[in-house]
Amino acid sequence: MTPLTRRDFTKLSALSLVAGLSPNLHAQSDKKIGYAVIGLGRIADHFLPATGATTNSRITALVSGHRDKAERIAAQYGVPSNSIYNYQNFDEIAKNPAVDAVYVALPNSMHAEYTIRAARAGKHVLCEKPMATSVADCEKMIAACRAANVKLMIAYRCHYEATNLKAIRMIREGALGQVQAIDSSFGFNIAPGEWRLSKTMAGGGPLYDVGIYSLNACRYLIGEEPHNISAYASTIDHDGRFKEVEENVTWSMRFPSGIVASCSTTYGGQMDGYFRVYGSKGWLQVDNAFVYEGLRLRADYQGTQIDEFNPARDPSQFQAETEHFSHCIQTSQQPQSPGEEGLKDLQYITQIYKSAGIPI
């Protein structure tokens, strides 16, 4: 099997830490990390209650263009009125000592601007995936956070999710023997009018939004970076939704050890996220691998059969990632999914688009 590198060990150790997260780990700091949530859309609705459920994090500010909505949520989470910001006065957040970090839950195209402005305001940044709409923006975000000496984490939920972590452990511990191939897909039938259908706001189509989960999974499952990527994209568009972004993407990857992977994504049909990993001594499969709940791990290796449904309910994944980031802030550790991880995916997405002939 692929020998574990020092980097693998560091990564695994971070993962184990997350997997075994226990309250006493947070005893090192009594002060909960205060978050400003930037953007009060759908994903914030998961982050807000999740953060309330952590032992080490709390909501201390909101940033929104809709004052009414913000007031309502502020009341719910005990956020004082003077800690509600809009996109014009956002930079004043620098003066708010209750805000240690921000959660960037905006459309993709705004991730870079608000990560950089937050860093300049001296706040740590937890930024949703995809990190940005271009490699150049990712690099600017990393540089800004480095210059401001704040932490930057990309909100890759699956890095902190028990079933995904178990699959990683099984693979790294050799349960499947030598991994040979991975299949993974994730997509959905997008509603008309979503900002995700705007190339300017989203950067691209389903690859940016959900295909990125399969791409990222292939990388974290085996701890390797793809050496070769080739792809096709298409837009069938039977109903006029796809004027700006592609509808379907399929791509193949080859990793340094020889492991191959095939992935696909779509905005044109329901494509429940999954991955299958095939090894010399068996296989494992995770269904609903990338959604908020309902994950199921099946495996058959070396005489062992597994069929495990993960009973964890939403928003536990958001809770785990927030706990991790707050813990990293409290203990001055590098997050398991730093900006560099988001940058890599953007580099591969760029390669996929290039291979598929999509201008980026």
Convert residues 246-275 into a mask of x (bound to a copy of itself by CB under 8 A) and - (unbound).
-xxxxxxxx--xxxxxxxx-x-xxxxx---
Please select the residue that binds a copy of itself; options are 181, 201, 312, 360, rule is CB under 8 A.
181
> In this complex, which beta carbon is closest to a copy of itself, that of residue 72 or of residue 354?
354
Q: Is 350 in the site for a copy of itself (CB under 8 A)?
A: no
C-alpha 102/C-alpha 36 separation (Å) is: 5
By the 8 A CB rule, do 230 and 279 touch? no
H or E segment to which residue 230 belongs: strand 228-234
Does 187 sit near a copy of itself (CB under 8 A)? yes
Q: Does 300 bind a copy of itself (CB under 8 A)?
A: yes
Q: What number of CA atoms fall less than 13 Å from residue 133's CA on the CB side?
A: 19
The piece of 99-107, 144-152, 162-170, 243-251 that touches a copy of itself (CB under 8 A) is 243-251
In degrees and rounded to multiples of 5, residue 54 shows phi and psi of -75, 165
In whole angstroms, what is the distance from residue 42 CA to residue 319 CA? 16
- Work out the burial of residue 219: count CB atoms within 10 Å of its CB; fewer than 13 is exposed, 13-18 middle, 19 or more buried: buried
Q: In whole angstroms, how close is the CB of 217 to a copy of itself at the nearest point?
A: 14
- Distance separating alpha carbons of residues 351 and 131, to the nearest angstrom: 16
Residues that contact a copy of itself, how many (by CB under 8 A): 51
Structure tokens at 222: 């085996």
**31 is a catalytic site residue:** no
Judged by DSSP in three states, 276 sits in strand
Q: How far is the CB of 263 from a copy of itself (least distance, A)?
A: 6
Alpha-carbon span 125 to 158, nearest angstrom:
18
Of the residues 11, 123, 129, 199, only one is catalytic, namely 129
Is the four-CA dihedral 88, 94, 99, 102 of positive or negative sign? positive
Shortest separation between residue 239's beta carbon and a copy of itself, angstroms: 8
User: Choosing from 35, 85, 208, 213, which is the catalytic residue?
Assistant: 213
Among 82, 86, 230, 302, binds a copy of itself (CB under 8 A): 230
Interface mask toward a copy of itself for 29-58; x: CB under 8 A: ------------------------------
User: Which of residues 55 and 252 has its CB atom nearest to a copy of itself in the complex?
Assistant: 252
Return the number of the residue (273 or 342) whose C-beta is nearest a copy of itself: 273
What region does 347 belong to: left with phi over 0, alpha with psi -120 to 50, or beta? alpha
End-to-end CA distance of the chain: 37
Among 236, 302, 304, 309, binds a copy of itself (CB under 8 A): 236
Task: Return the residue of 238, 240, 305, 332 that touches a copy of itself, per CB under 8 A.
Answer: 238
CB atoms < 10 A from the CB of 67, how many?
Answer: 13
333 sits near a copy of itself (criterion: CB under 8 A):
no
Sign of the torsion angle spanned by Cα atoms 146, 147, 151, 154: negative
Determine if 197 is a binding residue for a copy of itself (CB under 8 A).
no
Does the annotation count 213 as an active-site position?
A: yes
Residues 278-297 that bind a copy of itself (CB under 8 A): 278-283
Torsion sign across C-alpha atoms 133, 137, 138, 142: negative
Residue 131 contacts a copy of itself per CB under 8 A: no
Q: How many Å apart are CA 165 and CA 247, to the nearest integer?
A: 30
165 binds a copy of itself (CB under 8 A): no
The answer to whether residues 297 and 306 touch, using CB atoms and an 8 Å cutoff, is: yes
257/288 with CB nearer a copy of itself: 257
Nearer to a copy of itself, 169 or 254 (CB): 254
Residues annotated as catalytic (active site), given as ranges: 129, 213
List residues near a copy of itself by CB under 8 A: 1, 176-181, 183, 185, 187, 189, 228, 230-236, 238, 247-254, 257-264, 266, 268-272, 276, 278-283, 300, 355
